[in-house]
Structure 1
Amino acid sequence: MRIVRQSDRGPADQRATVSGQAWFEPVLPATDGTTIANVTFAPGARTYWHSHEGGQILQIVSGRGLICSDGSDPEEIRAGDVVWVPAGERHWHGATRDSPMTHLAISLGTTQWAEEVV
Structure 2
Amino acid sequence: MEHITSTPTAKAPAERFTGDVYLNPIETPSEPARLASALVRFTPGARTNWHSHANGQVLYITDGVGLVGTRDGSVVRVSAGQTLKCPAGEEHWHGATETTLMAHIAMVVGNSEGDGTTWLEPVTDEQYTAAQAAITS
Partner Cα separation in structure 1 for residue 4 and residue 34 of structure 2: 19
Normalization by structure 1: what TM-score? 0.90
Output the aligned Cα RMSD.
Answer: 1.4
| 1:1-118 to 2 correspondences below 5 Å | 3=2, 5-7=4-6, 10-14=7-11, 15-16=13-14, 17-31=16-30, 32-109=33-110, 110-118=116-124
Q: Return the letter of the residue paired with 1:18.
A: F
Larger radius of gyration: 2
Normalization by structure 2: what TM-score? 0.78
Of all paired residues, the percent bearing the same amino acid is: 38
Asked whether the equivalents of residues 4 and 28 of structure 1 are also in contact (C-alpha less than 8 Å), the reply is no
Structure 1 unmatched runs, 5+: none
CA-to-aligned-CA distance 1:26-82 (integer Å, 9 cap, x gap) = 000134332100000000000000000101000000100000111123221111110
- Shift in Å, 1:4: 5.0
Asked whether the equivalents of residues 22 and 41 of structure 1 are also in contact (C-alpha less than 8 Å), the reply is yes
Higher helix share: 2
Higher strand share: 1
Structure 2 unmatched runs, 5+: 111-115, 125-137
Structure 1 stretches of 4+ moved >3 Å: 30-33
